[in-house]
Chain A
Amino acid sequence: MKPTGTGLRLVVLAALLLGIISPIAAGLIQTGRAAFGLMPVVGAHGSGLEVWRSLCALPGFWTSVRLTLWIGFAATFLSLTLATCFCATAHARMTGRSAARWLAPLLAAPHTAVAIGLAFVLAPSGWIARLLAPLVGWVRPPDLALINDPWGIALILGLMIKEIPFLLLVMLAALSQIPVQQHMAAARGLGYRRSVVWVKIIAPQVWPLIRLPVLVVLAYSLSTVEMGIILGPSNPPVFSVFVMRLFMAPDLAMILPASAGALMLAFLMGVASATLFVAERLVRYTGLWWIRAGGRSSAVKPLLRIASLCVIALFVIGTLAMVSLVFWSLAWRWPWPSMLPETWSFQPWRNAAGVLGPALGNTLFIAGASVFVSLALAILWLEGEDRKGRGCAGWGEVLIYLPLLLPQIAFLYGLNMLFLRLGISGGIGAVIWAQVLFVFPYVMIVLSDPWRALDPRLIRAAASLGAGPVRQLLTVKIPLLLSPILIAAAIGTAVSVAQYLPTLFMGAGRISTLTTEAVTLSSGADRRITGVYASLQAILSFAAYAVAFMVPAFVFRNRAALKGAGQ
């Protein structure tokens, strides 16, 4: 009795509900209880809105909220615009495959590593300043707020460096589903210039396909803690860091306003998403009005050029940030104003070699396990869709992406309580479970489009040749989709390697991974050891990507149609 489409989907749904929704819900409920003053363990027995009032009265609260909203929207809007413009100018030259190849390094770089490297590159005592110092005549580093600035520009830049490659990736995947050439030809035949066609015809068709990833990007920009600490303003900090500081305050009673703050952060995300939808409606109305007016040309082209240059500049800075980390890991002393380390040394690597064994091992094991589980769930889900014969269910998608759309702080603390009660806290299983929550959506984002774009006639041909559904899956679908599957695995590995809060909370701090070590060390004074750990994080992710590109190239070396495939 072979499982039907509905059966498979129900299995995955059950796994999702039990594995994802209920933990998140449990976590949120716990946070909610504390937010309304109900936390018996510190002696609070329910004081309703008093906690919220005290939260709002904390100094810097409103500034922090405004700051977070500004940074979140600015980063997302700029990333989206720049990515779109870049796509418009370079799309002709980029196929899905080659693009994924050179986007890979920036996609793989962990957020923390990029933040630390960027903090060095942009700092007044950093690389760019040292480059300019002889030209401008600085003897001492200038007193300019280039990072940790009050408007969060450095944080916005850091976010953009990570978000633009991600958006480009999903955009390219979406574009492969649209007959771009044909639309371009038709519209140009009607007298429209290329750039206008992009804005009026291509972009509106791409938008529904990238809406959810954009929401994910917005959610991250609003709730990042690590990047907020390293690059963001400190007085007051962005709201997620503000809440984190409350959680970390020695006065345990501050956990109550901290929980209220965490819920507030989730509420802010909701507000931001709602704003996005409203903005979408507005843009649609104005867009339609603009289309009906029939204007054929506009000053869009020079803007596209500038935007593409900005994107390239950001990529260069991002690469410099990663390179600087590698240099720091090989440096002994690197004072101002040297462009390169004054003394090179392998000492940081030697110092780390003794201790990083367990961390490295844990990282590899957890990444492998969570990626495997996520891929299995994703393939089951997509296969279930195929057998059912229906397309993707909207609500299913939202459920899958829910962990990415909520701030981690809001439910991880409460989730840990649940795990404690169940007696499963502190183990590597709990950590893997928590990580799957966040890896699975990314794997889905990357794998869904290529899976659904697979020519159904091939499957029908296989069926007509007598292959059952399982054989179709194993011998036709998966080999054909080997490249997207491996890329999804690579992205999943990068996401898993970069996870911080889940490992920290679920592992009771006992499971050390490269990221937990790196973040802890980044609170110290030694950029060199941070450089070692961050370089290792990056190397792991790059290795996963390299595998994702080399294995299909080797396996399909005699199959021209599949070599570049990655549609």
Chain B
Amino acid sequence: MRISLMSALAAIVLSNPILFNPVLADSWQDTLEAAKGQTVYWNAWGGDPQTNAFIAWVGQQTFERYGVALRQVKLTDTAEAVTRVLSEKAAGQDDEGSVDLIWINGPNFLAMKEQGLLFGPFVAGLPNAQYLDLSPASPNSVDFTVPVAGMESPWRLAKFVFNYDSARIDTPPLSMTALLEWATINPGRFTHPDPSNFMGATFLKQALIDLTQDTAVLQEPVTEDSFVAATRPLWKWYDALRPTLWRGGETFPENQSVQQQLLNDGEIDIAMSFDPASTAVAIAQGLLPETARVFVPEGGTIGNVSFVAIPYNAASREGAQVVANFLLAPDTQAHMQNIEVLGAFSVLAAAKLKADARATFATLQTAPGLPSLADLGPTLLEPHASWMTRLTQEWARRYTR
């Protein structure tokens, strides 16, 4: 009897990482203590009022629970924050930096990591990281094939999807070749953002993965030979596609939001997004017609995770960690996935969640424009970051006047 009680107690202690690891528990307590009263400046893209409202809600919660005030610094482009940290480093300001937390991924993360501009690793120290799938192959551990190594913490899921107006298109094209056929019949009704923008570059990557013979070579850093070989079908396809694009392929929308506006205005019929739930949210906000729907090509699409990172000279790094941890809490993630709030898909691994948390997720509303996770199809791996840079360069070389 006593032995089983002991083993029960041991089981409880062992299953709870905080109790199991007193070092971990203590340091998190220290972090919480230090964070009280701090103000965290979270530099995040401010172009979406929904996200801004969600961040404000997060700030309310962290203030009430942990005494950490959160202020959003609205960016037009993540590079603004990167440049700011860089200037501070150049000016020798290694402490009391003005940026505490950055919504970041991909090439910006690579640049900051290489320049030593990040604080960390800190993800392992976050209690809510237990709900994440941090195995080496999961999207949470690899950002554009660059190992995260705990330097950035995930917070929302991103998956490349297309959206379209079902009132104007009956069956959307389900592969790149089908897209070309459709665009030839309907010229001027499709476009993509300028590849200097993240979204435009991702579209090219998606097309590349779809059209290229050997996808394994994309996981390796790019070389001249591998690039020429892999992209030959891509450029052939694109050369045929370009004259059928909106504006004859002479000009491109600045980013995906401008393109969504074009879809709303009726100038084009297909747009794209990194957030599968954005279409449903947009319909609820009156930014897209009721008939807008999401579709993905049959082979699957690129998916990745949006992260938050902490600069090396952040003034409120404890507060930033508290915020990052709060973002990973199951309740927060469920609130985020609610399409009336933000609709962003959660990054948590369903298998690791407790029963009640899983139930919360199951009761979330659906909407006609909201695809289920199953609808989203398989997630393709991101190519190595160097492929994106090379693709953008080559596109600019070939198609800029």
| Contact surface of A with B, Cβ cutoff 8 Å | 39-42, 58-60, 63, 123-126, 140-141, 143, 145, 148-150, 229, 233-236, 245, 247-252, 255, 332-333, 335-336, 343, 351, 355, 413, 416-417, 420-421, 425-426, 504, 508-510, 512, 516-517, 519-529
Residues of A within 8 A of B187 (CB): 143
B267 contacts A125, C-beta separation under 8 Å: yes
Structural contact, B86 and A521, CB atoms closer than 8 A: no
Per the bound structure, the CA–CA distance linking A235 and B82 in Å amounts to 25
Chain A binder among B102-110, B151-159, B375-383: B102-110
A62 to chain B: closest residue by CB: B401
A510:B73 contact, CB within 8 angstroms: yes
Indicate if B79 sits at the interface (CB-CB under 8 A).
yes
CB atoms of B286 and A510 under 8 A apart: no
Contact for A417 among B91, B194, B266, CB less than 8 A: B91
Q: How far is the CA of A40 from the CA of B253 in the complex (A)?
A: 35
B140 at interface, CB cutoff 8 A: no
Taking a contact as CB atoms under 8 Å apart, the answer to whether B261 and A59 are in contact is no
By a CB distance below 8 angstroms, the chain A residues around B298 are: none
Q: B130 contacts the other chain (Cβ, under 8 Å)?
A: no
Q: Chain B, interface size: which category?
A: 35 or more
> CA separation between A58 and B397, bound complex, in Å?
8
Given contacts A335-B264, A417-B90, A426-B98, whether A42 and B115 have CB atoms under 8 Å apart is yes
Say yes or no for B150: interface residue by CB 8 A criterion.
no
Among B4-12, B43-51, B118-126, B324-332, the one that faces the other chain is B43-51
Contact of A509 with B73 in the complex, beta carbons under 8 Å: yes
CB within 8 A of A150: which of B41, B74, B76, B401?
B401
B41 touches A510 (CB 8 A): yes
Q: How far is the CB of B89 from chain A (nearest CB, A)?
A: 5
User: Nearest Cβ in chain B — how far from A521, in angstroms?
Assistant: 6
CB distance from A322 to the nearest CB of B (A): 19
B87–A417 CB distance below 8 A = yes
Contact A521:B267 (CB < 8 A) given known A250-B111, A508-B98: no
Does B258 sit at the interface, judged by CB under 8 A? Answer: yes
Task: Please indicate the chain B residues that have their CB under 8 angstroms from the CB of A41 in the complex.
Answer: 86, 89-90, 115
The reply to whether B251 and A234 contact each other, CB–CB distance below 8 Å, is yes
- A125-B265, A235-B250 are known contacts. Are A63 and B401 too (CB-CB below 8 A)? yes
**B83→A255 contact, CB < 8 A:** yes
| 23 residue pairs from A and B, CB less than 8 Å apart | A125-B262, A141-B266, A143-B248, A143-B267, A145-B247, A148-B247, A229-B254, A235-B252, A235-B399, A248-B77, A250-B107, A336-B265, A336-B266, A343-B286, A413-B87, A420-B87, A420-B91, A420-B93, A425-B98, A520-B76, A521-B46, A525-B261, A526-B285
In the bound complex, residues from chain A placing their C-beta under 8 Å from that of B99 are: 508
The residues of A that contact B266 with a CB separation of less than 8 Å are: 125, 140-141, 335-336
CB pair B98 A510 closer than 8 Å: yes
Nearest chain-B residue to A250 (Cβ)?
B107
B1-31 at interface with A (beta carbon < 8 Å): none
Q: B377-400: contact bitstring with A at CB < 8 Å (1 yes, 0 no)?
A: 000000000000100010011011
Q: Is the CB of A525 within 8 A of B257?
A: yes
Interface pair B110/A250, CB less than 8 Å apart: yes
Most chain B CB atoms below 10 A, which of A234, A332, A333, A527: A234
Which among B79, B84, B187 has the greatest number of chain A C-beta atoms within 10 A?
Answer: B79
Instruction: Give the chain B neighbours of A522 by CB distance below 8 A.
Output: 47
A356 to chain B, nearest CB (A): 11
Answer yes or no: B260 CB below 8 A from chain A CBs. Answer: yes
A416 to B84, CA, bound (A): 9
Bitwise interface map of B from 237 to 261 toward A, beta carbon under 8 Å scored 1, else 0: 0000000001110111111011011
Question: Contacts A335-B265, A504-B80, A510-B73 hold; do A42 and B257 have CB atoms under 8 A apart?
Answer: no
Q: Which residue of B lies closest to A39 (CB)?
A: B90
Q: A335-B266, A508-B84 are in contact. Are A524 and B257 (CB under 8 A)?
A: yes
Question: Residue B232 at the A interface, CB < 8 A?
Answer: no
Docked Cα-Cα span, A482 to B86, in Å, equals: 47
**Given A145-B247, A332-B286, also A60-B396 (CB < 8 A):** yes
Find B76's partner among A39, A413, A426, A519 (CB 8 Å cutoff).
A519
**Smallest distance from the beta carbon of B389 to chain A beta carbons, Å?**
7
Set of chain B residues within 8 Å of A508, measured between Cβ atoms: 73, 84, 98-99
Q: Which residues of A contact B90 (CB under 8 A)?
A: 39-41, 417
